[in-house]
Amino acid sequence: MATWANLGFQDSAAPLMEQLTFFHDHTLFILLMITVMVGYLLGTLYFNRFVNRFLLEGQTIEVVWTVIPAVTLIFIALPSLRLLYLLDEINQPSLTLKVVGHQWYWSYEYSDFGDVEFDSYMVPIGELGPAGFRLLEVDNNVVLPVRTQVRALVTAADVLHSWAVPALGVKIDATPGRLNQTSFFINRSGLFYGQCSEICGANHSFMPIVLESVTPGSFLNWLKKKT
């Protein structure tokens, strides 16, 4: 999870998040080159004392500063479009997780395994253990198997919410009366934290998300305890 010293993204736990990180670094490198080049040109213009009084037009330089930005945009647009289609792709899911946002908690349902459903509330600060994270711990974690294609169906019961887990590259709106769908693949075990990312009322900051990724065997044992 992110700490106060983090300047970049969280460590990715899903292939799509890895691609998002690569695209971020790629775009940031291009922006850095543009910033350095423009800064250098501005500096040379500022300190240059020579002026061509008879220069009225420069066809060559106008062609150059039109073509170079166009080529730069292509280098940004092509990876962006590829990533956009990858994010929208739904591969045959092995498991479906239903997520419902409420004011101010989350409800989860594993409809593939009978009537496994529960609510997830934030743990109050006074009840946190010594290893608990303030405003991030919940009483019921979302448990999912590692290396499994998961489909999440997200909606809301009252107002707009947003289910977001940064380490997985997932952020999807929970809209009342509408069922939104996303897919993700967790490639390592661990605890992944998220929060509601849509201002939904007075306790918007108090409905965190904790996703626990475990082995398939541990996941089945957990399901047996829930049924």
Residue 195 structure tokens? 């929060």
Residue range(s) of every CATH 1.10.287.90 domain in the chain = 15-88
> Would you state the torsion angle of the CA atoms of residues 34, 35, 38, 43, taken in this order, to the nearest 10 degrees?
-150
95-226 CATH pick, 2.60.40.420, 3.30.590.10, 3.30.450.20, 2.40.110.20? 2.60.40.420
Q: Please tell me the predicted confidence (pLDDT) of residue 91.
A: 77
Contact 171, 186 (CB under 8 A): no
CATH topology for the 15-88 domain: Helix Hairpins (1.10.287)
pLDDT tens for the chain, residues 1 to 227: 677 777 788 888 999 999 999 999 999 999 999 999 999 989 998 888 888 777 778 888 889 989 999 999 999 999 999 988 888 877 788 899 999 999 999 999 998 887 889 999 999 988 888 888 889 999 999 999 999 999 999 999 999 999 999 999 999 999 999 999 999 999 999 999 999 999 999 999 999 999 999 999 999 999 988 87
